[in-house]
Chains A and B, each alone.
Chain A
Amino acid sequence: MTAVTMNPGSHISVQGVHKVFQSGGQDVYALKAIDLEIARGEFVCLLGPSGCGKSTLLNAVAGFSLPSSGHIVVEGATVTAPGPDRGMVFQEYALFPWMTVEQNIAFGLQIKGETRTAIQAKVSSLLDLLHLQDFRKRYPKDLSGGMRQRVAIARVLALDSPIMLMDEPFGALDALTRRNLQDELLRLWTELKKTILFVTHSIEEALYLADRTVVMTYRPGTVKRDLRVDLPRPRDVASPDFNALKKELSMLLMEEQSRHEQDEFRGAAVD
C-alpha cells in the first residue's frame, strides 16, 4: 500500500482503497488496493465488465458507500459523505418525475440557498447550453432518454461542482443519440474545465471520450491497465490508431469477461 500523501497535481486521489462485501459468509473484494491519481481537468474513464467494481469505485468517490479501508481524497480532504462538490449523473437518469425540467435543474440551486433571480438566470443559461429551452415546462415522462440525460447533466452542472461523476450515463441510449451526447459532453468539458470520472463498459466510448482509460479486473476489482489515450480530438473511430487501441483493450477486457462468465457458471452450478 502506498503512503497517504496527496500528489500535488491530483484533483481526486484514490489511495489504497479496499471495499469488502459479505456474501454467503465470505469476504468478496469488490475493490482491492486501488491507487489512482486524477489530475484537475482530466477526463478519466473506468472500463470493465459488470461486477468489476467500477461503479463501486465511483460510488466511493461520490461518498455513497465509503471504502472499507484506504482513503479517497478530493481537493485535499478525505471523502466522508456525498456532496454537491461531486455532482453525479446516474445511469437511470434519476430525474425527479414530479418536477418539470426547469424545476429539476433548479433544485440543487434552491438547496444551496441562492436567490430566485440568480436561480432563474442560471437555469435559463443551462437550458440554452443543453438545448432544452423548448422543454423547460415538460415533465420527465414526456421526454426521450437522450433529453432526460441532458436534463440530468444540466442538473449537475447547475451545482458548479468542479468534478462530474458519471455512471454509465449513456448506456441506455441508441447509438446516434449516444454519439450526439458524447460530443456534447466533450464540448461542455472543454468549455467548463471539469474533472470527469466516467464509468462505462463500452471500449469505444472510453476511447472516444477519455484522456485516460482505466481497465479494471473482475473480482477482486483492481486496476489492470491504466492507458493514456493520446489521440487528437475530435477522434476518428475509424482511424487505424483508434482501432489499434480498441483491439488492445478488447483483449484485456475479454480476459476479464471470461473470468466473469466462469464465475457465473460456478454460481449457477451451486444454485
Chain B
Amino acid sequence: MKRYRHAASGILVPLAALAFWHLLSAKGWVNATILPSPMQVLTKWWAYLRPLEAFDPSQGSYLKWCFTGELIQDAMGSLYRVLLGFAIGTGLALPLGLAMGYSKVAYGLFNPLVQVLRPIPPIAYIPLSILWFGLGNPPAIFLISIGAFFPVLMNTVTGVQTVDSIYLRVGRNLGASRFTQFTRIILPAATPYIFTGARIGMGTAFIVVIVSEMIAVNNGLGYRILEAREYLWSDKIIAGMFTIGLLGLGIDTVMSRLSSRLLRWHRGLEQG
C-alpha cells in the first residue's frame, strides 16, 4: 500500500508539468513552432523511431528492420562513440592512475602535466581535434576519451593513495610479495574510487558526445537535434532531447548496477 502511494507521488510532479505544458500549447499561449504540444512531440518521436521503409524480407530479418529507424541509428551511433571513447580514455587513465598512486616517482613525474591539462574542458579541444583528425568519428572519439580520462585518472590516483595502511601491514604480516600486495590488496581496495571515477567519466563522455556530434559528425543524437533546428522542427528537437535523457539514464543505471554488483562487499552500498 505504502509502495503504491510512493509511486503515485513520484509521478505527480511530472504529470503536472505535462499538463501545464499541454495547457500552454492548447490555449495558444506559446507559438507552436517554439513549443509544440506534448502530443505533437510524441507523434514526432514515434515517426523518428519507426523504420523509414516498409518491411522487406529480402533486405534481412525483421529484427534488423526494426533497427533501421533514424532515431535508433542515431542512438546507436552515439552509444558506439561513447563506449569506444570511454574505453580508450579509461584504458589509458587506469594504468597511469595506478602507477601515479603507487609510485611517488611516477606521481612526481606526471602530476605537474596532469594538473596543467586537467582544467582544460574537453570542449576546448574541439578546434585542435578537427585540425588533427578532420571530421567524423575520430575527432569525436578523441574528445570523448579526454572527457573520460581525467575523472578516471584522478579517482584512481586517490583510490590507490588512500588504501588503509592496515591492509598493507596485514599483507606484509602474511608474507605477501609486492606484486601480491598490489594485485590482491591495493587494487581491490581502490575499486570503489575507480568505479566512482568511471561513473563520472561516463557522464562527461556522454556530454562530450552530444557536443562533438553537433560539430564534427553528421549523425548521432547531437547532430540530429542541431539539424532539426535548421528546419525549425522544435518537436523533433524535444523528442531528440528526451531520447538523449533516456539514453543517459540507461547508461548510468547500467553503471550503478554494475558497480553495486562488483562492490557488494563495500560498506557504503549496504542499502544499495
Write the residues of chain A forming the contact surface with B, with a CB cutoff of 8 angstroms: 62, 64, 81-84, 86-88, 90, 92, 94, 96-100, 107-108, 111-112, 139-141, 155, 159
Interface positions of B (Cβ within 8 A of A): 166-167, 169-170, 172-177, 180, 184-185, 188-189, 191, 264-267, 270
Q: Is the CB of B167 within 8 A of A90?
A: no
Are B270 and A94 in contact, with the CB atoms below 8 A? no
Q: How many contacting A-B pairs (Cβ < 8 A)?
A: 63
> Nearest chain B CB to A171's CB is how many angstroms away?
15
A-B contact pairs, 16 of them (CB 8 A): A64-B172, A82-B172, A83-B173, A88-B169, A88-B170, A90-B166, A90-B170, A92-B166, A94-B170, A96-B170, A100-B265, A107-B184, A112-B175, A139-B265, A140-B265, A159-B175
**Cα A98 to Cα B264 with chains together (Å):** 8
Closest CB of chain A to B193's CB: distance in Å?
13
Check if A96 sits within 8 Å of B167, measured CB to CB: yes
In the complex, what residues of B have CB within 8 A of residue A97's CB? Answer: 265-267
Cβ contact within 8 Å between B267 and A87 = no
Q: Are B265 and A84 in contact (CB under 8 A)?
A: no
Closest to B185 in A: A96
- CB contact between B270 and one of A64, A98, A111, A141 (< 8 Å): that residue: A141
Interface contact B189-A88, CB-CB below 8 Å: no
Structural contact, B265 and A94, CB atoms closer than 8 A: no
In the docked arrangement, what's the CA distance between A112 and B177, Å?
Answer: 10
The one of B173, B177, B180, B184 that contacts A82, using a Cβ cutoff of 8 Å: B173
Q: State whether B166 touches A111 (Cβ < 8 A).
A: no
- From A84, A94, A141, B167 is in contact (CB under 8 Å) with A94
Query: 4 closest pairs, A vs B, by CB?
Result: A84-B175, A98-B188, A108-B174, A139-B265
Instruction: Name the CB-closest residue of B to A142.
Output: B270
- Enumerate chain A residues within 8 angstroms of B167, measured Cβ to Cβ: 94, 96
Q: A87-B174, A94-B167, A141-B266 are in contact. List 16 more A-B contacts (CB 8 A).
A: A64-B172, A64-B173, A82-B172, A82-B175, A87-B173, A88-B170, A94-B169, A96-B167, A96-B185, A97-B265, A98-B188, A111-B175, A111-B177, A139-B264, A141-B270, A159-B175
Point out the residues of chain B lying under 8 angstroms from A99, CB to CB.
Answer: 265
Contact A98–B173 (Cβ < 8 Å) = no
Question: Across the interface, which residues of A come within 8 angstroms of B175, CB to CB?
Answer: 82-84, 108, 111-112, 159
